[in-house]
Amino acid sequence: MTGILDYSPDDRYNAFITTCREAPYGDGVLGGVAVAIKDNISTAGIQTTCGSRILEGYIPPYDAYVVELIRKAGAAIVGKTNMDEFGMGSTTETSAFGPTKNPVDPTRVPGGSSGGSAAAVAAGLVPMALGTDTGGSIRCPAAFCGIVGLKPTYGRVSRYGLIAYANSLEQIGPMARTVEDVSRLMSVIARYDPRDSTMLDRPYDHKPSADVKGLRIGIPKEYFGEGVDPRIADTVRDAIGVLEGLGAETVPVSIPGMQHALAAYYVICTSEASSNLARFDGVRYGPAVDTRKTWHEAYQDLRGKLFGAEVRRRIMLGTFALSAGYAGRYYAKAQIARRNIRDDFERAFREVDVIAGPTMPTVAFRLGEKTDPLSMYLSDILTVPANLAGIPAISVPCGKVDGLPVGLQIMGRQFEDERVVDTAYAYE
Ligand code: GLN
C-alpha cells in the first residue's frame, strides 16, 4: 500500500449510495486514481445493495474479479454508485435510495441504470467508474450525462462477483470523461477468469489510434427512423460526417429484426431476472425473515415489502413468460427473435467494419417524467440490440440538443472492442 485517499465528495446529485472516506491505494497503472463502482458489483468489506432495500446492510465477503483487478492496478475504490434497483430502469429513479440528478441539468435524470456512475464522472467526483449494461445501462447514462461509456463484447469481462440481473445479456464496462480513460480502465478489467464460464481468453491491451482511413461505417435506417428525435438524428449524422472527413466511408445497412428487439429483450431479461432474484429470500442476505411466520407468509411479506414496484413487476412478468404452457409462446419466440437480430448484425458486418447511430432516441427526461413503464421500456430501443447480439458498443458525446448532451453510438463485430474504441477516439 502506498497511501490513503481521504474522500468526502460533495454528493449533491446523490450519485453514491456508499462512500469510503478512507480509501487505500497502491502503485500500478491506476496508482492513486479514485474509481467508483456501481452498487451491483461486489466489494469486500463495502456495503453492496443493488439499489435495493432487500440488500441493505449486505457486506460481501469477497471482491468481484474486476474489483480485484482495479485494486491491484493501484486505484482507490472510493464508493458505490446509485442505480436503478437491480439495474431495472433507464433513469436511476427506481433506486430505493432516491434518484440521482443529472449534473448537466439537475432537473433531469442522469439515465440508467448506471446513473450514479455517470453522474459521479460527469460531476468530476471521480475520473472513472464501472457500470453494467444489460440493455443499455452504461450507454444510456453516458449519453444523458455527456460522458463516454463502453459495453464490452459479451464474454470479454468477467462477471464473477456481479450480482446477476440477466446473465445472458449483461457485461461490466468502463465509464469516463474521455475515450482514452475508458480504454485505460478496459485494459485493467478485461482479463480472463475461469470462474466466468462464458468468458473467452481475449484480454484487451490497447492504446487507442485515431486512424479511420478507409473504415466502412454502416448506417442502419432503423436508427434514424420513427421515435428518434429528428434533431438528435441530425446531430449524429453531423458527427458521422466528421468521421467521413477523416477518411471513413458510410454504407447504408439494415437490421430488420429490430422490430422485435424490445419485445425479445423484455421477455428474456424478465425471465432471467425472475430466476436470479429467487435467491433473495431473507435467509442468506440482507434483512432477515420473521421465522415465527410460515415460510409462505414470511417470503411474501419480505419480498413484497423490500422489492420495489418495478422489480416486482418484472419478477411477475418473467415468472409468467417461463411458466408451463406459455414458455413456448413467449420465451422460445424471444430467443428466435434474438437469433434473427444477431444474424442481421452478422450480415451487416460482412459489408462494414462498424455500425453507427444515436445512443438514445431523446435527450435526458425530466425527473418524474417517465411514469408509464412501457414508455420507459421504449427508450431502450437503440441500445438493446447490441446486448441481444453480444457485440461491443460505445457511446461518445457528439453535441447538444436543447443544451443537453447527445451520444453517438458505435457498435462493432464481436471481440472488436478495439475498433469501436478507435472510431470513438478518432471522432473525439
Ligand atoms: N433499461 C433497461 C432495463 O431496464 C436496461 C437496464 C440495464 O442495462 N441494466 O432493463
- pLDDT by residue (tens digit) across 210-268? 999 999 999 999 999 989 999 999 999 999 999 999 999 999 999 999 999 999 999 99
Distance 384 CA to ligand 1 centre (A): 8
Count of structural domains within the chain: 1
Residue 1 reports pLDDT greater than 70: no
Q: Is residue 85 lining ligand 1, measured as CB closer than 6 Å?
A: no
* Residue 363 placed within a domain: yes
Counting from 1 in the atom list of ligand 1, the atom nearest the Cα of 379 is 1
Where do runs of H (alpha helix) occur along 246-290?
Answer: 261-276
What CATH number does residue 143 fall under? 3.90.1300.10
> Domain span at residue 72?
1-254+358-428
* Residue 104 placed within a domain: yes
Question: What's the chain's average pLDDT?
Answer: 96
Distance 329 CA to ligand 1 centre (A): 23
* Residue 259 placed within a domain: no
Q: What is the DSSP string of 206-249?
A: -------TT-EEEEEGGGGSTTS-HHHHHHHHHHHHHHHHTT-E
**Residue 38 among the catalytic residues:** yes
**pLDDT tens digit sequence for 187-209:** 999 999 999 999 999 999 999 99
pTM of the prediction? 0.97
* Residue 176 placed within a domain: yes
Query: How far from chain centre, in Å, is Cα 340?
Result: 23
**Residue 400 among the catalytic residues:** no
* Residue 203 placed within a domain: yes
Task: Using a pLDDT cut of 90, give the percent of the chain over it.
Answer: 93
Query: How far from chain centre, in Å, is Cα 243?
Result: 25
* Residue 206 placed within a domain: yes
* Residue 284 placed within a domain: no
* Residue 423 placed within a domain: yes
ipTM score: 0.97
**pLDDT tens digit sequence for 11-36:** 999 999 999 999 999 999 999 999 99
Q: Is residue 117 lining ligand 1, measured as CB closer than 6 Å?
A: no
| Cα(165)–Cα(175) distance, integer angstroms | 20
Residue 286 reports pLDDT greater than 80: no
Catalytic residue among 95, 137, 183, 187: 137
Counting from 1 in the atom list of ligand 1, the atom nearest the Cα of 376 is 1
**pLDDT tens digit sequence for 3-14:** 999 999 999 999
For the residues 335-358, what does the mean pLDDT come to? 98
- Sequence-separated (6 or more) residues with CB below 8 Å from residue 241: none
Distance 215 CA to ligand 1 centre (A): 31
Give the phi and the psi of residue 95 in degrees, each rounded to 5: -60, 140
Cell of 208: 487507442
